[in-house]
Structure 1
Amino acid sequence: MSREPYSKTIVTRWADIDCNQHMRNSAYSDWATYVRSEWLNEAGFDVRTMVAANLAPVLFEERTRFLKEILLGEHVAIDLQLAGVNHDGSRFHMRQTFRRGDTPCAIYEIKGAWFDIALRRIVAPPPGLLEASDKLERTDDFAHLVSSRE
């Protein structure tokens, strides 16, 4: 199966910058969330669709490794890759790389699951979302998640 790279380019705004004149740590999370939500929208899972399905992503862990400063007004590509998934797709590990040209500036990772809001439990994603996840480019160190704390 052909897996597709997914990337969005952003331009850092005044609101993204801290008093050290580089991108504030929480802006990485904000922009990473934006890119994941754009991926979901393009896969046909916008907010209305997710609400109708009683489905939402829930995060258990997020981590950012800062490699290079990102400054005001810089154009930064944010790549989204799948780093791991369990047998039914209910749990996932995603990695997002913030790049200025070919230079990696930060690596942002999340571990989470798909959550049924009505049932209040983790569930497998619906078929269209499962296929979209399967088409997402995988990291070089992709791993199948096997434990209950994936």
Structure 2
Amino acid sequence: MFTKPHEVHLRWSDLDPNFHLRHSSYYDLASQHRMDMLNSYGLTTTVMQEQYFAPVLLREECIFHREIRADDKIHIRLGLKEVINEGTRWTLVHQFTNFNNKRMAELTVDISWLNLKTRRLARPLPEIVKALYNSIMSEIG
């Protein structure tokens, strides 16, 4: 299950010399989408700093199905694939689709949490897990 589609606004700097979406832009757009969702549910960078934790990527992979051109209208949706060990690790999937709902790319990330004091992977506080899970599930509705 995926969240409602959110429109992606492509910038000139997102394009490669062929006027296609540059491969690394998919990763940047997905990362920004994740942070926007967390922020909208109160899980801001300020909260993370106060609690001494931050998300950390363990794996990131993108499968490209169709090229995205400069003038294409694109949506991105986020899906929760797996939660492991009471929220210690999350697998999320970003789907890039056009306005006709054709899949353009699929980006999968494995995320864990870093304790900023110890610089080691750690289990986030239960309220953090709840906020992340609720932010995704409420969007899926």
Scaled to the shorter chain, the TM-score interval is 0.7 to 0.9
Which letter maps to 2:14?
D
Is residue 124 of structure 2 the alignment partner of residue 88 of structure 1? no
Hey, what does 1:77 align to over in structure 2? 75
From 62, 66, 83, the counterpart of 1:64: 62
Q: RMSD of the alignment, in Å?
A: 1.7
Identity of aligned residues (%): 28
> Structure 2 counterpart of 1:126, which letter?
L
Q: Which residue of 2 aligns with 1:26?
A: 24
Tell me, yes or no, if structure 1 residue 43 matches structure 2 residue 41.
Answer: yes
Give the aligned partner of residue 120 of structure 1: 119
Show structure 1 runs of 4+ deviating over 6 A. none
One-letter amino acid of the counterpart of residue 18, structure 1 = D
Deviations 1:75-122 (A, max 9, x none): 211101111111210111110000102111000011120111112222
Q: CA deviation at 1:50?
A: 1.0
How many residue pairs match? The answer is 135
Residue ranges of structure 1 left out of the alignment (5+ in a row): 138-150
Between 24-33 and 81-90, the greater mean CA deviation after superposition: 81-90
Q: Provide closer, same or farther for how the CA distance between residues 109 and 13 of structure 1 changes in structure 2, counting only shifts above 3 A.
A: same
Aligned to 1:12, what secondary structure does the other structure show? coil
5+ residue gaps, structure 2, are none
Matching of residue 129 in structure 1 with residue 136 in structure 2: no
SS at match of 1:56: strand
TM-score by length of 2: 0.87
TM-score (norm 1): 0.82
